[in-house]
Amino acid sequence: MLSARAMSDDARPMRTFGRIKGRALRAGRAQLMQDRLPELALDLSAGPLDVQALMPGARELWVEIGFGGGEHLAGQAALHPDVLILGAEPFVDGQAKLLSQVEREGLANVRVHPGDARELLAALPDAAAERVFVLFPDPWPKARHHKRRLIQPDVVAELARVLEPGGRLRFATDWKDYADWALERILRSGLFDWPAERADDWRRPPADHLTTRYESKQLGDCAPVFLDFVRRRTPR
């Protein structure tokens, strides 16, 4: 588990994401950031998060790492109002877009960490989550930048720790090399099974996937690849 000390300002892990700010926010979104973000932002300073305190009666906990513009997270929250969904995203514009959707749809089951996803993972209790989504993370395609990719052995171990046995991890990318990279490292950990049986299992979007605007832009070097893993009950 990543310790609080490891996540402090003077011992912060290597950054896995690019810019955190774009153009100045429009007035309405800037107001939402001022009014709503403090209400929905998670307090990670008080020890392990208490899921039931965040949303009494929540049936499950899902986590989305790097939610981008928030379309997938907000869409899943609308479809599953009894599931608490925590999202981490350092990009301010993405945070504002998600807040707009939360406000428009009246979503009460969304909480946000406006920062590094590894900080959120470190604050979660063991086996707390039923699902984790890592959808189209920054691919860092140049070989000299591969060390900045989110999927590294320590993060894979953290993902396994926060997922309950039998819990599901979905990784998606439109960069072939990153798909191979993630598959190798996740399976090498011995903590996950990959139940795919045929090419369509990773070439076609899963039935419950919600397409995002980023995905539709087709900015990568291959068609989207969807890798669904299951947390092993007994590590290999």
What's the rounded Cα separation, in Å, for the pair 231 and 159?
9
Residues pairing with 129 in the sheet: 163
CB crowding 32-54: b at 16 or more within 10 Å, else e: bbeebbeebebebeeeebebeee
Euclidean distance between the first and final Cα of the chain, in Å?
19
The answer to whether the beta carbons of residues 119 and 94 sit under 8 Å apart is no
Q: What are the residue numbers of the active site?
A: 138
What's the rounded Cα separation, in Å, for the pair 201 and 191?
20
Strands 225-231 and 192-193: antiparallel
Structure tokens at 92: 């301010």
DSSP codes of every residue in 168-184: EEEEEES-HHHHHHHHH
